[in-house]
Amino acid sequence: MFVEEKLKQLMLPEPVAIIGAGLTGKSCFNLLSAVGIQCQVFDERKILPQHFSENPDMVALGPFEAKTFAEFATILVSPGVDLRRACFVNAVAKIITDIELFGRLTTRPVIGVTGSNGKSSVVSMLHLATQQQGLDYLLCGNIGVPVLAALQGSDDQCDGYIVELSSYHLERAPSLHLAIGTWLNVSPDHLDRYDSYADYVATKAKIFAQADYCVANAADSNVLDYAQKYNNVVYFSGERNRMIPATYHCEADMIYAGQQALFDMANFSQVGLHHAENIMAVFAMAKRLKIRDAAVVAACQQFVPLPSRSVTVGKKDGVLFINDSKGTNVGAAVAAIRGIDAPIILIAGGQGKGQDFSPLKQVCKNHAKHVLLMGEDAPLLATVLQGSVAISRVNDLNEAVSTAIRIAVPGDVVLLSPACASFDMFSSYLARGDLFEKIVREWIDA
């Protein structure tokens, strides 16, 4: 097979320590073991993941220590691994990431999309557009299919890859060459992983340096600052009067390319300017790929909102309930709030990850009638929001929903957009969103 032969030619120093026993770690193990490369998987969790049940002896569970990787010549890491830890900083082995290995192995065009919010929706819509056009692009990366799994599964015999890239992916991937690099937006997130917000932004900005063609949000000042350093950029923007004229823009819910009307947001399943920006990015990338506008329109109309991303749960007594549990950072919550043209009862809180909550103050003052706070960083949020909006502290999501139902009046929107991670109370943002939907539906059906 082509990919396996090319991997042999790379001659990775052996043995290889694969860090992380998640799906990415499994994809690394599958590829390396297929060509006989000696490797061992390491993970600090206590329970072996089910997908390694057939290879339990290949996974070492337990805390990482300075000597853990002493016998290994190469360390292959998953995106979530923090390489600032002493066991990696002091390691003598060569460190490589799965996305870097993917970059060295693939010969097909790679379309990369990053941003603090909206990545999954954008890559999903672009993937649908390629299918409408009859193209065979594989969807992978942060959206759930590891890049090496996509690569090995196709043997690189496809038209290309559409890759959702997190900042973690971009940290160490100098060999990743992008046909198109798209940066949707940036707002404080993962600050527990980076030394500063500026460091996080600079990591995101690597996507432009590694792309032949760039798509940038001119309405985001941080994205714009970096994009202006390059000549091969097309801009989109949901705001007017920008110093940089945007090819793709939105006026009165109509998306335009210049003067040409492309898509009416009334035909999209979600509301809000941030969704319009996502669609503009899809049109911009599709144009570069020579995909018909009609194929993009069909893809946008076909697109089903991903779980816990501004999903309408239901309506009762004139009160609408929206699940945006994926709003795990301030930027996502701000976008969700601004996208609703009705009085909002906001449910927020959880693990703040060191974020600055201050951008929420003005947007809540302008759009929210009441904020219900729960979770670990509820006290911090309460301090920031004090004086701008009515605030209530609740113990859990059940109490939050019941309180929202009690104070809501016809015309209100109850929005779960926590601006925080979920791990203080839930296994994931999906579990948080699922519980919200369950509670709401039980009340609607009662």
Task: Report angle CA 369, 375, 381 to the nearest 5 degrees.
Answer: 50
- How far apart are alpha carbons 378 and 380 in whole angstroms? 5
The single-letter DSSP state of residue 351 is B
| Same domain, yes or no: 387 and 265 | no
- How far apart are alpha carbons 209 and 175 in whole angstroms? 11
- Around 117, how many Cα atoms within 13 Å sit in the side-chain half-sphere? 27
Tell me how far apart the terminal alpha carbons of the chain are, to the nearest angstrom.
58
| Same domain, yes or no: 123 and 218 | yes
Amino acid identity, residue 136? D
Listed residues 302, 323, 339: the one ending a domain: 302
Instruction: Say which CATH number the domain at 32 has.
Output: 3.40.50.720
Asked if the structure places residue 3 within a domain, the reply is no
- How far apart are alpha carbons 29 and 9 in whole angstroms? 18
Asked if the structure places residue 2 within a domain, the reply is no
Note every long-range contact of 307-310, with CB atoms under 8 Å and residues 24 or more positions apart, other chains counting: 307/430, 307/433, 307/434, 308/429, 308/430, 308/432, 308/433, 308/434, 309/120, 309/121, 309/270, 310/270, 310/271, 310/272, 310/275, 310/336, 310/339
Phi, psi of 370 (to 5 degrees): -160, 140
pLDDT value for 24? 96
Please state the pTM of the whole predicted model.
0.87
| Same domain, yes or no: 230 and 279 | yes
| Same domain, yes or no: 169 and 276 | yes
- How far apart are alpha carbons 181 and 205 in whole angstroms? 10
| Same domain, yes or no: 277 and 325 | no
| Same domain, yes or no: 144 and 55 | no
| Same domain, yes or no: 294 and 396 | no
Of residues 360, 275, 49, the one with CA closest to residue 266:
275
Q: What angle, rounded to 10 degrees, do the helices at 273-288 and 119-132 form?
A: 40
Tokens of 105: 């192995």
Listed residues 92, 112, 133: the one ending a domain: 92
Q: What angle, rounded to 10 degrees, do the helices at 147-154 and 2-10 form?
A: 120
Task: Report angle CA 248, 251, 255 to the nearest 5 degrees.
Answer: 45
Is residue 232 classed as helix, strand or coil in its secondary structure? coil
| Same domain, yes or no: 425 and 403 | yes
Cα→Cα distances 421→57, 70, 270, 360, 390, Å: 33, 34, 23, 16, 23
| Same domain, yes or no: 85 and 174 | no
The single-letter DSSP state of residue 303 is P
Instruction: Say which CATH number the domain at 363 has.
Output: 3.90.190.20
pLDDT value for 245? 77
Secondary structure element (H or E) that encloses residue 43, with its range: strand 39-43
- Sequential pLDDT tens for the chain (446 residues): 799 999 999 999 999 999 999 999 999 999 999 999 999 999 999 999 999 999 899 999 999 998 999 999 999 999 889 999 999 999 999 999 999 999 999 999 999 999 999 999 999 999 999 999 999 999 999 998 999 999 999 999 999 999 999 999 999 999 999 999 999 999 887 777 888 999 999 999 999 999 999 999 999 999 999 999 999 999 999 876 556 778 999 998 999 999 999 999 999 988 888 899 999 999 999 999 999 999 999 999 999 988 888 889 999 999 999 999 999 999 999 989 988 989 999 999 999 988 999 999 999 999 999 999 999 999 999 999 999 999 999 999 999 999 999 999 999 999 999 999 999 999 999 999 999 999 999 999 98
| Same domain, yes or no: 201 and 123 | yes
Q: Name residue, tokens 């399943």.
A: 269
Residue 251 bridge partners (DSSP): 254
Q: Which residues are annotated as a binding site for ATP?
A: 115-121
Tokens of 172: 């160490």
Listed residues 63, 92, 121: the one ending a domain: 92
Phi, psi of 89 (to 5 degrees): -60, -40
| Same domain, yes or no: 49 and 79 | yes
Task: Report angle CA 137, 154, 156 to the nearest 5 degrees.
Answer: 80
Q: List, in order, residues 6 or more apart from 128 with CB less than 8 Å away.
A: 298, 299, 302, 303
Segments forming the whole domain that contains residue 322: 311-445
- How far apart are alpha carbons 334 and 185 in whole angstroms? 13
Residue 235 bridge partners (DSSP): 216
Please say whether the beta carbons of 130 and 159 come within 8 A.
yes
| Same domain, yes or no: 441 and 352 | yes
Secondary structure element (H or E) that encloses residue 435, with its range: helix 429-445
Q: Which residues are annotated as a binding site?
A: 115-121
Tally of structural domains, the chain: 3
Please say whether the beta carbons of 183 and 215 come within 8 A.
yes
